[in-house]
Amino acid sequence: MTRPAIPDARRPHALQTLFNLRREEIGPVLIAALFFFCVLTALMLLRPARDALGMERGIESIRWLFIGTALVTLAVNPLFGWLVSRLRRLQFISATYGFFVLSLAGFWGLLMFAPGAIGERSGQVFFVWFSVFNLFVTMVFWALLADRFTSDQGKRLFALISVGGTLGAIFGPWLTSRLAEPLGTPSLLLVAGGFLLLALAMAWLLVHVAPDRAGTDASAATAAPADESERIGGSAWAGLRAVFRSPYLTGIAGYILLMTILATFVYFTRLQMVAQVADDMDARAALLGNIDMWTQVAVLALQLTLTGKIIQRFGLGVALAILPVATALGFIGLAIYGSFVVLVLLEATNRAVQRGITRPAREALFTVVGREEKYKAKAFVDTFVYRAGDVAGAQTEGALGRLGFAMGGLVSVVVPLALVWAALALWLGRAQARRSPEPASPDGARAG
């Protein structure tokens, strides 16, 4: 007996009900999620190795490495801006990812064949290099998504795409915890390079699998799709100038600056706790990998219950304000209890909010600016401003420690900063809504 066919129209309805995803968006979303999976797998493979190598000369040296990282990031931004101006989109993405893959191969060769000639200095160089690499590969990913999807799609789909990154952030530390001690830390570099090449392949697929801004509604479709044969053009310094000329972009920079300052407080607290329980480099890498893995499991569990819903129901402003509130509450809890378990819970909660809600909302802010700002201004904000926050956070945390302030002293700094951070989040949400394209205004993606 022939089984009655299920009407095909039910499938897109089910997808829209569960994930607010239209049928024509399935391909681009799956590719973007796999793209993010590869990027986060590579990064999280290397992050424990970065921390373990950086700690070879003690935690205090990491504070100065943050300053070096910020300076290198500032120097690299004009070069990236020049690539964006001179090359087509896929060309400068390929050049960026290809450079980092070759760098990984070079570090592997040095660590394997000349470890005695480099010693501790190699760990410091790798720490700075990875800190720059970390931000640029994720920045390029999100810039392409902001260019590839509309403002409406960003609000609906970026949280769903982020699940791919969370799975990669779980898989990467799991590989690190299994490979760090038996194979040695240098072997992780080649594995990460392989995932980065896969990520580059996903970038090409994301551009070519369907026309830009597929599945948009009539109002969003009024924006002209990107022509891959065209160069963005402009000056290498255009991104820096745009940030200081546009109150909107300045607000995004301020939000990221406050976020990284407070995240750095958590980072150094974790390093201090890990240093007390592990002395060997490979053992530290394995321990840090396990912490990251189980933290990301908690991230995924919370992310799947929150994906996209808060952004759509309450708007970007409220979504962005959740992280400042969660951070302040987490630090208060850490000051009261002060245990390693509470620290892991603080990290798990913050990462769940940051990756499940804040990051998609933050990236949706860039869907309403011009293409030049999507790549150049975003590069400056997501790299130099981010690392400047690291420096400010590291030096502030270190100064409080030298003055004898315990966790209570950190809380007295965190809570006021979190209030300013939350207020800025609400302002950004309203500003993004005003800049979103309306049916009568086809040019809704201008900066300023």
Extents of the domains making up the chain:
23-213+235-435
For residue 255, give the amino acid letter: Y
The pLDDT of residue 403 is 66
Whether residue 265 contacts residue 330, with contact meaning beta carbons closer than 8 Å, is answered with: no
pLDDT band of 32, cuts 50, 70, 90: very high
Q: What gap in Å lies between CA 190 and CA 443, rounded to an integer?
A: 44
Give alpha helix (H) positions in 55-88. 59-86
CA atoms within a 13 Å half-sphere pointing along the CA-CB vector of 377: 29
The pLDDT of residue 212 is 53
Instruction: Indicate whether 249 pLDDT > 90.
Output: yes
Name residues whose C-beta falls within 8 Å of residue 7's C-beta, 6 or more positions apart in sequence. none
Whether residue 263 contacts residue 417, with contact meaning beta carbons closer than 8 Å, is answered with: no
The pLDDT of residue 440 is 35
Pair of tokens at residue 137: 């590969």
Pair of tokens at residue 105: 């191969």
pLDDT band of 443, cuts 50, 70, 90: very low
Instruction: Indicate whether 346 pLDDT > 60.
Output: yes
> Domain 23-213+235-435 carries which CATH code?
1.20.1250.20
Q: What gap in Å lies between CA 308 and CA 357, rounded to an integer?
A: 7
Pair of tokens at residue 186: 């240098």
SS3 content of the chain, % helix, strand, coil (to 5): 85, 0, 15
Which residue from 447, 423, 57 is spatially nearest to 255, judged by alpha carbons? 423
Whether residue 191 contacts residue 175, with contact meaning beta carbons closer than 8 Å, is answered with: yes
Alpha carbon 415 to its chain centroid, in Å, reads 24
Q: Say what the pTM is.
A: 0.80
For residue 392, give the amino acid letter: A
Per-residue pLDDT tens digits for 73-130: 989 999 999 999 988 889 999 999 999 999 999 888 877 777 665 556 666 777 788 8
- β-partners of residue 438 are 441
| Greatest mean pLDDT range, 44-48, 290-294, 296-300 | 44-48
Which residue from 7, 351, 29 is spatially nearest to 173, judged by alpha carbons? 351
The pLDDT of residue 7 is 46
Name residues whose C-beta falls within 8 Å of residue 197's C-beta, 6 or more positions apart in sequence. 97, 101
Pair of tokens at residue 341: 């378990």
Task: Report the phi/psi class of residue 437: left, alpha or beta, with left for phi > 0 and alpha for psi in -120 to 50.
Answer: beta
Q: Which residue has the higher pLDDT, 166 or 289?
A: 166
Instruction: Indicate whether 318 pLDDT > 90.
Output: yes
Residues of the chain above pLDDT 70, percent: 71
What does the mean pLDDT of the chain come to? 78
Residues of the chain above pLDDT 90, percent: 29
Q: Look at the block and give the residue holding tokens 């570090």.
A: 107
The pLDDT of residue 305 is 66
